[in-house]
Amino acid sequence: MAKKNEKILCWNCDGSVSQHLEQCPYCGVDVTQIPENPPFASPFQASPQIDSTPKPPYNNSQNFDVSRDEWNRAIEESATDEEEEEAVHASRREMIALLLLLPGIVFFLFGLVLMLFASDGKLTLQWNQSFAYFYFLGAVPLLLLGWRALGVGKK
């Protein structure tokens, strides 16, 4: 059976060093002599005179109670969230109104062009003037719905 290669920890860098070596292959210090006060204490070797337990990054005596002012501020912030949500709904209503108004205006103007500029009942592009009434009929509901959705005239 082969003998296990036993290793020791370097006191300077905590590298795994063979027992038979005198110098650490990682940092080059002499591992046969351990200094009285090493420059860096190993976290793996407990020393009775040094407390190696790290201190917590927070204060243990913190009070987690919420004051009434902080509570009211948080409620006001949630109220502003509701106002933002209402603003989103308002902008959505305005977008719907515009999407209804724009095609209504286009159809209305196209019908008006057909009525005014048709010669012998036809427009130069060969659109029949009798279709103007269909454009007017299609434009009126779109204009009314868009006008109502936009809220023009309401107080």
Residues with Cβ within 8 Å of 104's Cβ and at least 6 positions away in sequence, in order, are 138, 139, 140, 141, 142, 143, 145, 146
Residue 36 has pLDDT above 60, yes or no: yes
- pLDDT tens-digit readout, 87-105: 788 888 888 888 899 899 9
Closest CA to 89 of 151, 142, 147, 140: 151
Residue 29 has pLDDT above 60, yes or no: yes
pLDDT in the model for residue 25: 86
Confidence of residue 41 (pLDDT cuts 50, 70, 90): low
CB atoms within 10 A of CB 101: 19
Q: How many helices (H) and strands (E) does the chain have?
A: 2, 2
Query: d(Cα 132, Cα 155) in Å, to the nearest integer?
Result: 35
- pLDDT tens-digit readout, 61-79: 556 677 788 878 877 777 6
pTM of the prediction? 0.31
Query: d(Cα 20, Cα 5) in Å, to the nearest integer?
Result: 9
Instruction: Locate the domains of the chain by residue range.
Output: 8-47, 87-150
Residue 19 has pLDDT above 90, yes or no: no
- Could you tell me the end-to-end alpha-carbon distance of the chain, in angstroms, rounded to an integer? 99
